[in-house]
Structure 1
Amino acid sequence: MTKLEEFQELRPLLFAIAYRLLGSVGEAEDAVQETWLRYSAAATRPASTKAFLSATVSRIAIDVLRSARVRREEYPGPWFPEPLLTDPYQDPERSAELADSVSMAALLLLERLSPLERAVFVLREVFGFGFGEVATAVGRSEAACRQLAVRARRHMDEGRPRFAADRAERTELAGRFLDAFRNGNVDGLTAMLAADVQLVGDSGGKAPLWAERFVGAGNVTRVLAALVPLFARAGAALEPREVNGQPGAIFRDADGRVLNTWTFEILDGRIQTIRTVSNPDKLGHVGPVGDSWAALRAATRPLHPKEG
């Protein structure tokens, strides 16, 4: 195969690695493109194209991640990864690891790791690279990478919930919850929420903050009940959709443009966390982005007497 053909064959893997390291679709795509530029400019071909390209995209992503950490610390309000609708890389032998590692909850846990720990964990635990390949990718000895892997695995295990719901059960519960939201069924919403449920929003200061952080079934239910008429008056449409490998939804304005995404974390038959992303900078890859401020104005404008 030509260099380009080899690269295109491995491109889904390279994006999958970069996205898990960076939590950004745009930055991951840029890292993959930079990897191609370096590969195409190389005078010789490596013994293993997969190992070479995986190492290259990992090193690029580590450098980006180091510079991004300061920006994320200064980010206004909660920071979430950019929502991912479809993971382009599939491996039947590692399907469980791949699905778990792309969830919002897992990506936020990865944020707690150092860039090197994160890279070692992703390459080793998620994609099954040998420690020799991991060491080459991160520029450390195999022994050092084994220590990094142990620390990273411990941090990840400490933050993960102990019991995960079956995929079919999660999808069914999320569907019922979204139906209850559409219909304004407050009692139905409450029945599906965990007692300590959290509703957390990422607007980046660039969109209406429908909900920054609310905790407890009562508080979250009141917020959701208040949102139902606002979304209805704005003409918003709710599209159930898997987001980051978990049940979720895309909210669109009256013209079909994206306003925000929701993802649900479901455990023990209850919704534990609802995460919303409305920062327009994080939604461009999902589809044409709507004007959330205009939608809010439409939702809160005084009713004309004939509309009442």
Structure 2
Amino acid sequence: MDEATEFEELRPLLFSIAYRMLGSVSEAEDAVQETWLRYDASSARPVSLKAYLATTVTRISIDVLRSARVRREAYVGTWLPEPLLDDPYEDPARAAELADSLSMAALLLLERLSPLERSVFVLREVFDFGFDDVATATGRSQAACRQLLVRARRHMHEGRPRFETDREERDELARRFFDAMARGDMAGLQSLLSADVQLVGDGGGKAPQLARAVAGAQNAARLLATVHPLMVRIGITCTPCLINGQPGAVFHDRDGNVLRTMALDVVDGQVRTVHSVINPDKLTHLGPVADAWAIDREVRRARRPSA
């Protein structure tokens, strides 16, 4: 097997590492491409290509993450990870575990970690790399990596929700949620939401967005039941699918352009958080992007006759 072919076989793993580090599809793809360019330009021919490339993509991701933190401090509104429909790294034996580490909730918890804590946690806890490889990738001793992992685990476990384990029940709840939302069934929606539910939106200042998170079942249900029937009226369609390993949907305008994604965190049989991404910069990898401002104007016009 030639090196280019072997690299392509490892690409899904490298992307999955970089995406969990960066929370960005575009930045993860760039990190993987830079990994190949560095390897192709070097004379190194390692014993383990997997370990070598994982080290390279981790170091690149750490550098990107350090600079990204400065940009995210100036981000307009709430920052959410770029939605991912499919994790290219497939491991059937650990599918559920990998899906949980990919969720919006998990990625937002990872944001609280330092770049080194994040890299150690992703490599060791998610992808089960040995401490020797983790130490090489991060440039720290194995003892230091163990300490970093202890701190990272503590932060992650303190805030990590208990995701619904029965996938069929979770998916059925999501089906009922999107059906009630399209029909404007406020009571039906409220029955599916936890009392402390939060509706969080990310427009990045480039699309209509919530000024702040909407909290509470009644407030969230009222907003969803009011707005989405109007969106259906002007031709917006909702396609249920997995978003970051959790139930969600992609919304398209009448021309098939991507308007937004919505991902649900389901905990204890109820929707705990709704993450909605409408920032067009974060949707381009899903296809042509709709003009969210024009859609907002149409929704407002559609609302006037019933006002």
**TM-score of the superposition, structure 1-length normalised?**
0.96
Question: 1:291 offset after TM fit, Å?
Answer: 0.3
Distance 1:304 1:119, change over 3 A: closer
2: CA distance, partners of 1:116 / 1:182: 43
Secondary structure in structure 1 of the residue aligned to 2:286 = coil
1: CA distance, partners of 2:304 / 2:131: 67
Once structures 1 and 2 are overlaid, which stretch shifts more, 230-239 or 172-181? Answer: 230-239
Distance 1:303 1:60, change over 3 A: closer
Aligned to 1:107: 107
Secondary structure in structure 1 of the residue aligned to 2:82 = coil
Q: Give the partner amino acid of 1:203.
A: G
2:4 paired with 1:4: yes
Aligned to 1:281: 281
Aligned to 1:203: 203
Secondary structure in structure 2 of the residue aligned to 1:118 = helix
1: CA distance, partners of 2:137 / 2:97: 20
Distance 1:105 1:298, change over 3 A: same
1: CA distance, partners of 2:258 / 2:139: 41
Aligned to 2:68: 68
Q: Give the partner amino acid of 1:207.
A: A
Q: Deviations over 1:193-234 (max 9, x none)?
A: 111111010000100115741100111111112212331233
Q: Give the partner amino acid of 1:176.
A: R
Secondary structure in structure 1 of the residue aligned to 2:28 = helix
Aligned to 1:240: 240
2: CA distance, partners of 1:293 / 1:163: 34
Q: Give the partner amino acid of 2:30.
A: D
Q: Deviations over 1:98-117 (max 9, x none)?
A: 11110000000000000000
2: CA distance, partners of 1:146 / 1:177: 42
2: CA distance, partners of 1:288 / 1:302: 24
Structure 2: tracts of 5 or more residues without a match: none
Q: How many residues of Structure 1 are paired with residues of Structure 2 in the alignment?
A: 307
Q: Deviations over 1:231-252 (max 9, x none)?
A: 1233111111110000001111
2: CA distance, partners of 1:302 / 1:174: 27
Aligned to 1:226: 226
Question: 1:262 offset after TM fit, Å?
Answer: 0.3
1: CA distance, partners of 2:217 / 2:211: 14
Question: 1:264 offset after TM fit, Å?
Answer: 0.3
2:61 paired with 1:50: no
Q: Deviations over 1:147-204 (max 9, x none)?
A: 0011101111111124634221111100011011111212111111111111010000
**TM-score of the superposition, structure 2-length normalised?**
0.96
Q: Give the partner amino acid of 1:117.
A: E
- What's the Cα RMSD here? 1.8
1: CA distance, partners of 2:167 / 2:225: 27
2:11 paired with 1:17: no
Question: 1:92 offset after TM fit, Å?
Answer: 2.6
Question: 1:304 offset after TM fit, Å?
Answer: 10
| Cα contact 2:195–2:217 (8 A) shared by 1 | yes
| Cα contact 2:162–2:268 (8 A) shared by 1 | no
Structure 1: tracts of 5 or more residues without a match: none
Question: 1:127 offset after TM fit, Å?
Answer: 0.3
Distance 1:242 1:147, change over 3 A: same
Aligned to 1:142: 142
1: CA distance, partners of 2:103 / 2:225: 26
1: CA distance, partners of 2:245 / 2:162: 18
Question: 1:44 offset after TM fit, Å?
Answer: 3.1
| Cα contact 1:234–1:296 (8 A) shared by 2 | no
Q: Give the partner amino acid of 2:53.
A: L
Once structures 1 and 2 are overlaid, which stretch shifts more, 184-193 or 23-32? Answer: 184-193
Q: Deviations over 1:37-80 (max 9, x none)?
A: 01111213111000000000000000000000011111111100
1:250-269 residue pairs with structure 2 within 5 A? 250-269=250-269
2: CA distance, partners of 1:163 / 1:88: 22
2:266 paired with 1:270: no
